[in-house]
């Protein structure tokens, strides 16, 4: 700034002061660069804040992301729950060895190898053993069969006078009104099966009563292979001759010598009556020499 040269009055001093004041003012006013420096300082602070704030915040969020949470899902899947299902199904099925209800009865008579009579509920009932057949001894239309008496005796030894336990299969009675039952003793002996095992009975299958069919067949095979009872050698014996027709009636004095055509016929009657212990009941030997009707030809 120009100043008035000195020597022209007091004006130069005033100019100088003004100039100095302006110069001093310019010296004390901060430059724009210095004034902007503290303003930028928060920007640097904000930059640090921006850099630090989201990263720490996101880091734990990623650590607890839903992916690890989903990992236990296979453990809680229904597959392990399905594992015990077969066991539940098996337990619901009735066990093969379950014992059906049995009823106690008192044996009062042994009819034959496979039939008994019992006292039950205040009454007397005929019981036919299920699943087996023994030789006949009581059928009026059939002769006594081989091993029939032995089978009846074996049954008698097992059950006579005993308390037995009757087990029903499907049918209640047969066509003759007999109770159809499996028979057990107090010690657990299965009478039907024991008679088959000993060879005194054969297996007789009549559906639907077949609960112990497999057991009976196995025991029959065992008895046959061992040659027991019915499966043994059949004894051979000569046929029994038919009784001869009576020669004459020896019940009293009924004949004379004139009743016989020949001496031989009279002699035959005489001998026959003597063989029966009747002696000379007809007085055919008059002289007691053992020859009847000697006068006949």
- Do residues 261 and 283 both lie within one domain? yes
Examine the domain organization and report whether 112 and 165 are in the same domain: yes
**Is there a single domain that holds both residue 143 and residue 208?**
yes
Which residues are the active-site residues? 128, 136, 178
What CATH number does residue 184 fall under?
A: 2.40.50.90
Last residue of a domain, one of 207, 231, 255: 231
Among 206, 231, 256, the domain boundary falls at 231
Give yes or no: residues 176 and 139 share one domain.
yes
The tokens describing 212, both together, are 């112990």
Claim to verify: residue 286 and residue 196 sit in the same structural domain: no
Question: Which residues span the domain enclosing 284?
Answer: 245-297
Same domain, 135 and 178: yes
State how far the alpha carbon of 90 is from the alpha carbons of 30, 77, 78, 211, in Å. Answer: 98, 24, 20, 21
Claim to verify: residue 127 and residue 154 sit in the same structural domain: yes
The domain tally of the chain equals: 2
Mean pLDDT in runs of 10 for the chain (297 residues)? 47 52 53 46 43 48 48 50 44 49 96 96 97 89 89 96 97 96 98 98 96 97 96 70 71 87 88 83 85 88
């Amino acid at each position: 700034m120009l100043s008035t040269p000195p020597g022209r009055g007091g004006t130069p001093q005033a100019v100088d002061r003004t100039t100095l004041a302006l110069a001093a003012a310019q010296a004390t006013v901060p430059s724009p660069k210095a004034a902007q420096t503290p303003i930028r300082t928060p920007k640097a602070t904000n930059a640090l804040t921006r850099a630090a704030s989201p990263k720490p915040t996101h880091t734990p969020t990623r650590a607890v992301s839903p992916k690890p949470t989903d990992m236990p899902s296979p453990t809680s899947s229904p597959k392990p729950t399905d594992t015990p299902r077969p066991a539940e199904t098996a337990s619901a099925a009735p066990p093969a060895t379950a014992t059906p209800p049995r009823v106690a009865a008192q044996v009062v008579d042994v009819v034959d190898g496979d039939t008994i009579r019992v006292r039950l509920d205040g009454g007397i009932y005929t019981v036919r053993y299920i699943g087996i057949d023994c030789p006949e001894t009581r059928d009026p239309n059939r002769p006594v069969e081989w091993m029939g008496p032995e089978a009846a005796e074996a049954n008698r030894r097992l059950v006579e006078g005993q308390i037995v336990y009757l087990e029903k299969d499907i049918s209640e009675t047969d066509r003759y009104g007999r109770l159809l039952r499996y028979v057990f003793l107090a010690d657990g002996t299965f009478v039907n099966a024991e008679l088959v095992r000993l060879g005194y009975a054969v297996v007789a299958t009549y559906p639907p009563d077949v609960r112990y069919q497999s057991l009976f067949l196995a025991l029959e095979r065992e008895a046959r292979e061992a040659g027991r009872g019915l499966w043994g050698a059949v004894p051979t014996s000569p046929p029994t001759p038919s009784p001869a027709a009576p020669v004459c009636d020896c019940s009293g004095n009924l004949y004379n010598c004139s009743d016989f055509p020949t001496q031989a016929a009279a002699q035959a009657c005489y001998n026959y009556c003597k063989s029966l212990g009747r002696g000379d009941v007809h007085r055919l030997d008059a002289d007691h020499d053992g020859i009847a009707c000697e006068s006949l030809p």
